[in-house]
Structure 1
């Protein structure tokens, strides 16, 4: 397939067409941004309605990670001066989760540093998830690295419904970003999580030196995996990391990426993550041009925005994070 018209492509996707690997997508890179965003908005309106999913996270264990991901402030091989601490107490995590729930967030995730959460720390996480599942109503998500099938079974039994595990970039570019584990290690983890019944949240980071072709490849790989929630992070270069000197992406590139991901993954939640402050009005324009979700609150080592601010932004845009049926019963509003 060769794309020559955004309007025609939008109509075809609404009718059931899906972009595939090998299609000529060059026009997505050359079409006027406003035209591309208009098409992305039509797709978002059709498949997602006016629902914007808001998730929040807590850094449950920080620093001293043995992996060598170039972008990460928590890698032990980098010297970033971040706070390092062991797994947080159950009381502190639950207090944070309840505050986010009461503020209106849709879901809450514990994320932890390291290749994989294991041993006593994993047991602590399971105990915390069980208590949250019993006492709170907020949906639970987890992000604990390269887990085993048995660990996923325990997470499901504890009440966790979503698992976050990024592929980060294209298969081609991944070895330029990390060599302590492989792209296939990440794919294997995602597939096990899906087999165990999790909604998988997986995306990546743009602005790490990859090409536009790498970004499109990532978008198509996520479609092929059947990913339902796709966080897009714009690199915020952190002093001391391997990408400390990488220049920030212009807002236009981030917005084009978001729109392209909507065309490739029309029914998924395209989720704004790190780098929102690089966008006009802290991402407000993106919520009307392909983005149907966001991480909100304090985001790991990058600056975020408060839930209250995001709720007001959505209201001003005529959007809501309340659970409503998507216009075309797509997956966007359902997880």
Structure 2
């Protein structure tokens, strides 16, 4: 497949062809980037129309995480000096959700550090979700680690429609990034959330020392899991973390990754996440070259653009985040 015409392949994907594990995908790594971006844009336009999904997050509990993920500012194993605090008051969370809803975003997520949110803190989260579900027109998402089936059910009953749980990297590379939980643990959590009827948001981070083949494998694995929302993060090396020494990846590598993720996951929302600022246009070109969604506003330990700034980008590109035009077959991501 070394001489694959990526524009012809894009049209085949639009017509129903799907890339499978075992296919020779090496051409994605050497083909002309501009042509690859054009083809990814065709696929995006077909499946996602002019819709860009905008989501915001709040760091509901920060720091003191017992897991040893090498990229993370909030792990107790990494001396990053990150802010630490318990689960935020419900009033603080709801106030921020209201501001984001008024600004026009599509969905809002509470993200918490730690292996899992449990006990009284989880009960507080449920209370916050129940009130937001009753009073706000926002899609509600959660990212709270390794929850039980019962917890996932409680979230669903409280109005949460999407659960976020990144696979982070390829199965092969995962032990190089984290050893306190396994890749298989993550797959099990994703399948539990799907069995509950939640849309799953799952992606990963590039630039952690993995190979291009690891990135392709991650894209295929997410397709096999039928993931409808795929955040792509570029590592922002954090002082005090084990990956602090790594060089930031070039913007071109991020663009190539976004483009071939669109080819491999044509109907999903490919979501810009951490690392937008390494692109000189903050991802504006990416939003017509494969990325149909983005995290906006404040982003945990990494910065992105403002909500207002993203709406200005959408207006320039003739895109919108109007309800009812979502891509992704579950309709919630």
Deviation at 1:334, TM superposition (A): 5.6
Please identify runs of 4+ aligned residues in structure 1 that moved more than 6 A.
Answer: none
**Given the two structures, how large is their TM-score scaled by the length of structure 2?**
0.98
Q: Distance in 1 between matches of 2:45 and 2:218?
A: 23
Given the alignment of the two structures, is residue 144 of structure 1 paired with residue 156 of structure 2, yes or no? no
Counterparts of residues 252-271 of structure 1 (less than 5 Å): 252-271=252-271
Given the alignment of the two structures, is residue 331 of structure 1 paired with residue 329 of structure 2, yes or no? yes
Q: Distance in 1 between matches of 2:65 and 2:89?
A: 20
* 3-state SS, counterpart of residue 40 of structure 1: helix
Instruction: Write the deviation string for residues 78-117 of structure 1: whole angstroms up to 9, x where unpaired.
Output: 1111110000000000000000000011000000000011
Counterparts of residues 227-246 of structure 1 (less than 5 Å): 227-246=227-246
Name the structure 2 match of 1:31. Answer: 31
Q: Distance in 1 between matches of 2:13 and 2:287?
A: 20
Deviation at 1:16, TM superposition (A): 0.6
Instruction: Write the deviation string for residues 248-298 of structure 1: whole angstroms up to 9, x where unpaired.
Output: 000100000000000000000000000000013100010010000000000
Q: Distance in 2 between matches of 1:321 and 1:307?
A: 12
Change in 2 beyond 3 A, CA 1:185/1:221: same
Deviation at 1:332, TM superposition (A): 8.6
* 3-state SS, counterpart of residue 299 of structure 1: coil
Deviation at 1:325, TM superposition (A): 3.3
Q: Distance in 2 between matches of 1:6 and 1:323?
A: 31
Given the alignment of the two structures, is residue 123 of structure 1 paired with residue 117 of structure 2, yes or no? no
* 3-state SS, counterpart of residue 282 of structure 1: coil
Change in 2 beyond 3 A, CA 1:330/1:228: closer
Q: Distance in 1 between matches of 2:325 and 2:66?
A: 43
**Over aligned residue pairs, what C-alpha RMSD do you find?**
1.3
Deviation at 1:323, TM superposition (A): 1.8
Name the structure 1 match of 2:190. Answer: 190
Counterparts of residues 157-168 of structure 1 (less than 5 Å): 157-168=157-168
Deviation at 1:217, TM superposition (A): 0.2
Q: Distance in 2 between matches of 1:110 and 1:244?
A: 27
Conserved 8 A contact 1:51-1:333: no
* 3-state SS, counterpart of residue 58 of structure 1: strand
Deviation at 1:324, TM superposition (A): 4.1
* 3-state SS, counterpart of residue 161 of structure 1: strand
Name the structure 1 match of 2:41. Answer: 41
Conserved 8 A contact 1:267-1:332: no
Given the alignment of the two structures, is residue 298 of structure 1 paired with residue 304 of structure 2, yes or no? no
Q: Distance in 1 between matches of 2:320 and 2:30?
A: 32
Q: Distance in 2 between matches of 1:333 and 1:43?
A: 18
Deviation at 1:192, TM superposition (A): 0.2
Instruction: Write the deviation string for residues 50-98 of structure 1: whole angstroms up to 9, x where unpaired.
Output: 1000000000000000000000000011111111000000000000000
Aligned length: 333
Instruction: Write the deviation string for residues 237-256 of structure 1: whole angstroms up to 9, x where unpaired.
Output: 00001101110000100000
